[in-house]
Amino acid sequence: MTASPSRRWAYLALYESERRGQDPRSLLEKLWGEGKEGEGKPEDRALASALVQGVVREKQALDRRLSLYVRGPLDASVRIILRMALYQLLYLSRIPPRAVVHEAVELAREFAPRALGLVNGVLRNYLRKNPSREAPSPEEVFPSWLVAMWEEELGLAETRALLWALSQVPDTVVRVNRRKATLEEVKASLLLQGVEVEGGRLFPEEALRLRKTRGLRHLEAFQKGWIIVQEESSMAAVAALDPQPGELILDVAAAPGGKATYIAEKMDDRGEVVANDIDRERLRLVKENAERLGLKSLTYTAYDARQLPSSWARSFDRVLADLPCSGLGVLHRRADLRWRKKRDHIDQLQRLQKEILMGVVPVLRPGGVLVYSTCTISRKENQEVVEFLVEEMGLQPEDLRPYLPPALKEEPSAPYGWVQLLPHRHGTDGFFIARLRKEGNP
């Protein structure tokens, strides 16, 4: 007897993630890509993905409960097996407890044989004392420093709503490439392949929210260049930039290409979009996406944005600076990030953001527009950086309302040049957008 494929995949990805410090989702995809653990059924892959995401997301709460039943440290292999089992007992009500215990014992038999009795005993003891399946509250599954920071910046009620939203499994969101297909053609194609489809919330004519995708690469719409993965908050940043045909536009940190290709589409593929990214491997993704979408107006550079070529000075009509950040607005998509980030990382990232902007603002022509954006919820990385752009770099904030989709035009901060999107309010990732203009005549 061996554990089911879904549990083996999840265990291997989680174990390697803990050992190497890598994103467990990418390790899971690598397992499937190499075929070392067999192809498996779609439902096995779906369960493996749910286990990986869930165990990472709820790690703190799971470990707190395990500490009530286990004294002393555990080997990584045993700890992961017990986390997986406890996650199923707490959250996956369709799986009988007896099956959960059996699968955990089989994993222990293969990967931690000396602890087989321990695993069996801990889980049976847990079930005797906890017959009901009461899941932890959202406050239990986020680092205490983060909860405290959000309570200070957003207030208690807003923070609780945000924690709940970031504890949900998000939809996959795609942008329709309307140069190649209509929204209805894409919807029909996806439905024929068994994908559940819902219209976008901010951009209903351009975005689709997908469920039960089991990956995108096998879909006709993806292969034909009809869609690209892009969250609607990211689309809103490009809307705020308002690119025009024939312009010269810089995307400072372009990978994997959602925003750069959307800029090109907005320009009707006329003009030039300089897609820059310091990571050459990730820059390759931008080029692959642009080619799949049939776009020809992009060029590609791999400069450190703090040190752009002097020949670029005062050249660009518009600049999109979607900069490296703590990623706190996408914790529902990247559950592992919540345990890797520390409060002092935010200070470090703010310094990096300012250094990049000091390198970027000089390449913007007088009268040109800069959009600053991040996928985080942090005053230090967002509003304080806008203050820096105004007070230290001499840019002027502009009213965002003419450029935003209707659902965002009434945001109270929009007249002042910025908006903070929040998952529980807007149904998007947590995302910050600010629009500023450089003084002077073109």
- Note whether 258 and 266 are within 8 A (CB): no
Q: Give yes or no for a cis peptide into 24 (omega within 30° of 0).
A: no
How many other CB atoms are there within 10 angstroms of residue 407's CB atom? Answer: 16
Residue-wise DSSP of 351-406: HHHHHHHHHHGGGEEEEEEEEEEES---TTTTHHHHHHHHHTT-EEE---TTTS-G
- Choosing from 81, 375, 386, 422, the catalytic residue is 375
Compute CA distances 319 → 197, 232, 270, 351, 440, whole Å. Answer: 33, 19, 16, 20, 16
Report CA dihedral (125, 127, 131, 132) to the nearest 10 degrees: 120
Q: Is 325 an active-site residue?
A: no
HEC readout, 254-312? CCCCHHHHHHHHHCCCCCEEEEECCCHHHHHHHHHHHHHHCCCCEEEECCCHHHCCHHH
Alpha-carbon gap, residue 116 to 82, rounded angstroms: 11
The pair phi, psi for residue 50, each rounded to 5°, is -65, -40
Residue-wise DSSP of 422-439: -HHHHSS--EEEEEEEES
HEC readout, 175-216? EECCCCCCHHHHHHHHHHCCCEEEECCCCCCCEEEEECCCCC
Alpha-carbon gap, residue 220 to 336, rounded angstroms: 31
How many other CB atoms are there within 10 angstroms of residue 178's CB atom? Answer: 14
DSSP 8-state class, residue 314:
T
Q: Which two tokens stand for residue 299?
A: 């060029």
Angle at 242 between CA 298 and CA 319, to 5 degrees: 55
Compute CA distances 128 → 70, 115, 123, 397, whole Å. Answer: 15, 20, 9, 60
Active site residues: 375
